[in-house]
Amino acid sequence: MHFKTNHTTHQRPVLLLSLLILSFSYFAESIEVLDLQIQSQYEDIKLIPGRILPTNISELAFEIPGKVAVVNSDLGDFVKKGEILAKLDDSEINANFMKAEANFMLAQLELDRFEDLKENSFISPQDYDQANAKFLVAKSEFELNKVKLSQTYIMAPYDGFIQQRYVDVGTIINPGITIFDFVDSSNVEAHVSIPGNDLNGLSLGSEYEFEINGKIHFATFSRIAPMTIGGSSNRLGIFEFSEFLSPGNVGYLKYRNIIKKSGAWVPLQALSESNQGLWNLFVLEKLDDGYKVLKEIVELHHVEDEYAYISGTISNGDQVVVGGALRVIEGQFLK
């Protein structure tokens, strides 16, 4: 008999085993045997879906009625904070603004003259009070028209993208009608419905993996919101990304749950079905002049790729026949 051993200490299940290839006189081919390595726990990875959404979504509208005169941005455009996205026809409002500005400047000059006259006692206090009141009214009218003029255009509230545009030039609109859907370009969030039993395995402020369109991205678990739809015990977990990703995608949270259970990883092909949901595992018992095949009854807890995590009547260092029932039978003697 001869054998070849491959030792490794990596943590993936496929690498937790020491492989021996044994040749016996009864077989034309070698038998693969694995040394079991008992562990105290295993990792169960779930992919929990969630929606990728922008951190901020704004519905931009005019605050006053009017006719749309200019539309500077369209669907998909990136704009910087403060850029003008659209304007109303402001000819009438601008004329009123200029008139109010002129009245304000005139009232200011008149009040300045009355202040000089008051200091030299050339006017009565009543005349000065009237000039001051006139100035305050003119100032109020000027500020009001300044606000109305600013309401004739829509500015980007932050750096972002035009997600949707709803009007064209020449459209007559009422106040509050949405002109643009505007999304933040700095950050996005993942909204994930997390089963209540899994919340204990997550920590606020920690970073977690997401799989999005086949690529891995990282996000910080920032907060939890209640979910009551249909009486579900799920909670809405919100994860913040430090990079901009396209909103609307589905991302999958890689939830890693540590299960405290003593057992070992074995290839699926080493198992054969037994009774009552249990499984058979064939191991070799070392004798003076060869090996004897023994059958162990085990319970299967978790499957990952082509490996299974099992527990039962197994011990550290047991030599497991990889081919299982396809290669050997219980009680068989090998030398």
- CATH number for the domain spanning 202: value is 2.40.30.170
Question: Residues 33, 73: one domain?
Answer: no
Domain count across the chain: 3
Q: What does the pLDDT average to over 34-54?
A: 89
Same domain, 23 and 100: no
Domain span holding position 219: 47-56+185-259
Q: Which residue has the higher pLDDT, 180 or 227?
A: 180
Task: Say which amino acid occupies 312.
Answer: G
pLDDT reported for residue 282: 93
CATH number at 313 reads 2.40.420.20
Confidence of residue 228 (pLDDT cuts 50, 70, 90): low
The pLDDT of residue 233: 77
Residues 105 and 165 in one domain: yes
Residue 257's pLDDT is 81
- pLDDT value at residue 55: 84
The answer for residues whose C-beta is within 8 angstroms of residue 67's C-beta and 6 or more apart is: 88, 89, 170, 171, 172, 173
Share of the chain above pLDDT 70, in %: 89
In angstroms, what CA-CA distances link 327 with 271, 302, 308, 311, 333? 11, 24, 19, 22, 13
Cα distance between the two ends of the chain: 7
| Residue with the larger pLDDT of the pair 13 and 315 | 315
Res 247: pLDDT: 81
Residue 198's alpha-carbon distances to 5, 87, 229, 232, in angstroms, are 39, 50, 18, 14
- Whether the pLDDT of residue 146 is over 80: the answer is yes
The pLDDT score that the predictor gives to residue 281 is 93
pTM over 0.75: no
Residue 173, pLDDT score: 92
